[in-house]
Structure 1
Amino acid sequence: MPDMLVKLYNLPEKQKLLNKLQTQGIRIKRAMTADKHSIVEFVGTHFSENWRNECECAFSQLPVNCYIAVKDKQVIGFACHDVVVKNFFGPTGVLQEYRGLGIGKALLLECLYTMHEDGYGYCIIGWVEEALPFYEKTVGAIVIADSFPGAFQDMIGLE
């Protein structure tokens, strides 16, 4: 499970995708602290307890380092940044029935644009497995050699 590196100074345009999603009733927005419980529960229920913990960390920062995808007043996807360690993207996830619409790409781009605006030149995407081709194609991410377990090496579950 290698890490990947993204150049934040050379990101693809995002507005057309955001507009397209909006015409489908899908809104990408920054999470608000008032929605913390429902977002963290969404992540824990549909993805994993580890991701739930990481998402909860996003709410300890202002503005919150989490973006969400919302349709019909329901969260259908999320993406966090700067929660595992500084300069990292993730975790991120979109409900199975909404995959393939560009929601994951939109969430990724919102986070990466925010990281660039925060002064980062590069971003690390940690522990990429089956999503590796997606990140290569979407944002030109490249694999960082010998990067496993990387920032996660001191995690209790890996000892």
Structure 2
Amino acid sequence: MADLLVSLYTDRLSDLEEQARRAEVLIRPVLPPEMHLVADWVRENFSTNWASEVSVAISRQPSACLIAIDSGNLVGFACYDTTARGFFGPTGVHPDSRGKGVGIALLSASLQAMKSLGYAYAIIGDAGPVDFYVNAVGAMPIPADNKGIYQGMLRVKRT
């Protein structure tokens, strides 16, 4: 998968923020006492690797992991500055909550947070849904011959 580059000074972020307001979820940073609850939820719904990244993001001060809450239930998460400074991700929305604007709301809040920290650009590392990011924020592939930051990462061997 490709790494993508997003300008944090594009007008598309204003459009994204407007779309995010339509999502009927609360977006907020994870509190430290919630770390294991959120990391376990990510592990159960996505992957162990992402749960590790979530734990790192939550450990930052302030937390670099945002969550989406709907009617008191965790329905999505997004991290930034986790594997590398300036990186957005991982991010995920529970399958039952997809298509409701939750991903847009998390993306918008995360990119706004990164912009407020002084970043001019964000990198979406090893982006899965490339078309989603291209359409949402005008993300552009970074030409790198598939040699992203995750190359050579240790993986769990399944027997």
* TM-score with structure 2 setting the length: 0.90
Q: CA RMSD in A?
A: 1.6
Gaps of 5+ in 1: none
**In structure 1, the residue corresponding to 2:23 is in which secondary structure?**
helix
Gaps of 5+ in 2: none
More off after superposition, 70-79 vs 11-20? 11-20
Identity of aligned residues (%): 36
1:71 alignment partner AA: D
Aligned pairs, number: 154
2:53 alignment partner AA: E
1:19 is aligned to 21
Q: 2:140 aligns with which of 132, 139, 142?
A: 142
| CA gap 1:15/1:4 in 2 versus in 1, 3 angstroms | closer
Tell me how far 1:125 sits from its aligned partner. Answer: 0.3
**In structure 2, the residue corresponding to 1:80 is in which secondary structure?**
strand
| Distance in 1 of aligned mates of 2:145 and 2:110 | 22
Once the two structures are superposed, what CA deviation does each residue of 1:16-75 show, in whole Å capped at 9, x if it has no partner? 4343223xxx21112111211111111000000000000000122111001111012110
Matched, 1:132 2:134: no
| Distance in 2 of aligned mates of 1:17 and 1:67 | 18
Q: Give the conservation status (yes or no) of the 8 Å contact 1:80–1:111.
A: yes
| Distance in 2 of aligned mates of 1:104 and 1:20 | 12
| CA gap 1:147/1:28 in 2 versus in 1, 3 angstroms | farther
2:65 alignment partner AA: C
1:12 alignment partner AA: L
1:35 is aligned to 34
Tell me how far 1:15 sits from its aligned partner. Answer: 4.7
* TM-score with structure 1 setting the length: 0.90
**In structure 1, the residue corresponding to 2:62 is in which secondary structure?**
coil
Q: Give the conservation status (yes or no) of the 8 Å contact 2:45–2:94.
A: yes
More off after superposition, 60-69 vs 9-18? 9-18
Q: Which runs of 4+ in 1 moved over 6 A?
A: none
**In structure 2, the residue corresponding to 1:29 is in which secondary structure?**
strand
| Distance in 1 of aligned mates of 2:145 and 2:138 | 18
Matched, 1:57 2:56: yes
